[in-house]
Chains A and B, each alone.
Chain A
Amino acid sequence: MIFPKWTNWLPLALGLGAVLVGGGVAAGVTIYLTPKYTRAGYQPVQPVPFSHQVHAGQLGLDCRYCHNGVEKSWFANLPGASTCMNCHNQVLKDDPRLQIVRDSAETGQPIPWVQVHKVPDYVYFSHEVHVRRGMSCVKCHGRVDQMDEVKHDQSFSMSFCLDCHRDPASYIRPVDKVTSLGWQWSTNATEAAKLQQTEGQKLVDHMRVETLQSCSACHR
């Protein structure tokens, strides 16, 4: 007998091992390398404890009051400290948490906000064309008006972009509702989903929204 008896189990052991190792590698790659896990959920601490929940949610400030480049440029823009001081020279004007903001407005030294949302350098994304053509902020950034600290809500992977680029009708909304993050086609969820399809398609047809899936749409 050339092979001892335990070798009968060898193929099974090898197969099992391969499955375990392969599964481990797959899980590792998924968790460590895919945008769904590497990006979504990212929530850095900002130098100023600014609350979107208070400003955008409770006070109802429009997104565009601070992010004033969003309709003009690819970059939404972060407000200068002088914008903050428009209100905060009256409200909470001695609050120690706002010391950095006051200093910045006075000296011009920028506040080092930590970037949360970022697309890779080879992606040329434009806020302008999305928000002015009925893509709501909420689709990519989530309910920022309910976030105390901003966190990365969606994966921003290429397939995330393509979901909408393949089927804009399921995501589009009237242009004037773009910054109303909680807006729905209807208060009834099933009704809203139905309306999204029918009304969305109407919008797509009326606005001649293209289903841009070729490389040149985002990569140059």
Chain B
Amino acid sequence: MKTLPILRAAAVRLGSAAVVLLCVATVAFFLVRLSGDPVKVLLPPDATAAQEATLRASLGLDRPLAVQYLDYLWGLPRLDFGTSLFYDQPVATVLLERLPATLELAAAALAVALLIAVPAGILAAVRRGRAGDTGVMAGVLIGQSTPPFWVGILLILVFAVQFRILPASGYGTAAHLVLPAVTLAIYSVAVIARLLRSALIDVLGADYIRTARAKGLGTGAVVLRHGLRNASLPVITVVGLEVGSLLGGAILTEQVFAWPGVGRLTVEAVANRDFPLVQATVLFFAATFVLVNLLVDLSYTLLDPRVRVAE
């Protein structure tokens, strides 16, 4: 019987997610059309008006806006996002071609972020107010306030140009993944470590921690088994949001490392006024966020028995 509320909640969430995505799809559709004309970008400036009209008609951009909009909406449930104006290929094909690189980068960056942030956050919380805490927090603050393109270039100069132990850019092997993943992870490290620190400090002051200590558990066991687990809830929320931004926020990192991901594709699509492709990438990012949020919400009920889905 207990599974039912979860299912019902999931259904409600999915319904509202669909509404959100519909809104995003609509806004993207109209906004991108306000910003310019893909035919003008595709054709050189010395094209004649007649040549423009021919191309516009063959791309279907001469149809009334309402017709184009309905056509677009009609395609969405069937996952038909139209044909990219610039690449002359189905948008889904173009997007799927770039997706693996983005997923790889986001996963690696998240792994790096957690590997650094979790120990750093714990250290800062346990050593609160002491040198360890100050050091970690200062490092984290520097990481958070340096722009990724600068960090990226710096890492390239040190590890690729100076020491030549890692490739400067490109894609393909695990070695290519290291520098972009680290660059992308730095901001997330800061966010996660800071939140973990404050959550853990809260928890470590709680009565049950005192009880745990009183019954003779060592500091490590207290912090890891009782502290970290109870502090993990807010952290998981933030990690979820970070997954969203890692997937969508890699634009600068992808530019710097010539990484063939969705972020760069989005920038190119906007520059080319590639309407269907812009619509699809915006929708992709929105869907990612919605999905991650949904998973985070649902994970609460599994992680914390006190959280019950409202019926």
A, B: real partners = no
